[in-house]
Amino acid sequence: MKEFQETLYDSISQCFRIDRMYFEHKTEHQHLMIFHNAFLGRVMTLDGIVQTTERDEFIYHEMMAHVPILAHGRVRDVLIIGGGDGAMLREVCKHRDIERIVMVEIDAEVIEMARQYLPNHSAGAFDDPRLELVISDGMDFVRGAEAERFDVIISDSTDPIGPGEVLFSDDFYGQCRRILKPGGAMATQNGVPFFQIDEVRQTRERMGRHFADQCFYSAAVPTYYGGIMTFGWGSDNPELRRVDRETLAARLAASDIETRYYTPDIHLASFALPKYLLDALEEPAADAAQ
């Protein structure tokens, strides 16, 4: 029986049994695999790194979409960078008051194969009339955006390896800050700090240069193994993180969205970070410059 062995870390790795291979191909940008595992359902990997599984994707996508959108409360324009599997788009589309969703994905083949082999991820969201789908490097898009402005920006990127690396750069955060409306919020995929602690320090320094309120929130996603994963948070309005439980509960109720992980209590608690992470954030990043 074939197995997928993840290649994210040097000295440790997780592996999944491949019960059925749906697709394996080197796209223009990355090595894409979609296979079935008896427990996880359909799994997508890029460049040997787990991107998403049907079994646990709801945790990650609910937390990256609903935390900034419900904290803001009056979101009309959303930018998604990456997110080629379509599940982030699916969660954003559930908010009926959103008027425009721009999704910028570098690899058209990821979208094409996800639509075909991971249909439950996008669940029709790619056909939402509010979507403007752009196939481009997210860095080029944000750098070139002139009049575009967004209430929420979600960077649903791969890890800072290969095409995803630029989405963790000082320039990227600066450009995203520029095109974020006043009172807007940015959320980013920021890795598993127990194994990728310098990624958090780097984001703290690079994103922190551009946002008055920069911090992290977290959730444990089983197949991003190693404990909690962090989400970068950036806003010019610290009040967004002080929205109270009752307000979040009222906004969630008004949205009619049924969640499986997100609750107002989880939302508020997710910004509480463990001591080892708080201590690490006090130290300089190894190479904060870029």
Residues noted as catalytic:
156
Q: Which of 104, 187, 257, 281 binds ligand SAM (CB under 6 A)?
A: 104
Nearest residue to 37 (alpha-carbon basis) of 20, 56, 24: 20
Amino acid at 254: A
Q: Which of 37, 53, 122, 157 binds ligand SAM (CB under 6 A)?
A: 157
* Structural tokens at position 175: 């450009």
Task: Pick the stretch among 33-41, 120-128, 161-169, 250-258 that binds ligand SAM (CB under 6 A).
Answer: 161-169
Q: Can residue 118 be called a binding residue for ligand SAM (CB under 6 A)?
A: no
The answer for 227, left when phi > 0, alpha when psi is -120 to 50, beta otherwise, is left
Q: Which of 72, 77, 83, 102 binds ligand SAM (CB under 6 A)?
A: 83
Q: Which of 60, 150, 173, 225 binds ligand SAM (CB under 6 A)?
A: 60
- Pattern of binders to ligand SAM over 213-242, x per CB under 6 A? ------------------------------
Q: Which of 156, 199, 267, 273 binds ligand SAM (CB under 6 A)?
A: 156
CB of 85 to ligand SAM, least distance (A): 5
Q: Which of 105, 175, 208, 268 binds ligand SAM (CB under 6 A)?
A: 105
Side-chain-side CA neighbours of 71 within 13 Å: the count stands at 30
CB of 91 to ligand SAM, least distance (A): 12
CB of 88 to ligand SAM, least distance (A): 8
**Residue 112's CB: how many other CB atoms inside 10 A?**
14
Q: Can residue 82 be called a binding residue for ligand SAM (CB under 6 A)?
A: yes
CB of 191 to ligand SAM, least distance (A): 8
Q: Can residue 34 be called a binding residue for ligand SAM (CB under 6 A)?
A: no
Task: Pick the stretch among 121-129, 164-172, 232-240, 243-251 that binds ligand SAM (CB under 6 A).
Answer: 164-172
Q: Which of 67, 75, 101, 110 binds ligand SAM (CB under 6 A)?
A: 110
CB of 218 to ligand SAM, least distance (A): 13
Nearest residue to 270 (alpha-carbon basis) of 258, 262, 278, 279: 262
CB of 115 to ligand SAM, least distance (A): 12
- Contacts with ligand SAM by CB under 6 A lie at 46, 51-52, 60, 81-85, 104-107, 110, 137-139, 156-158, 163-164, 166-167, 189
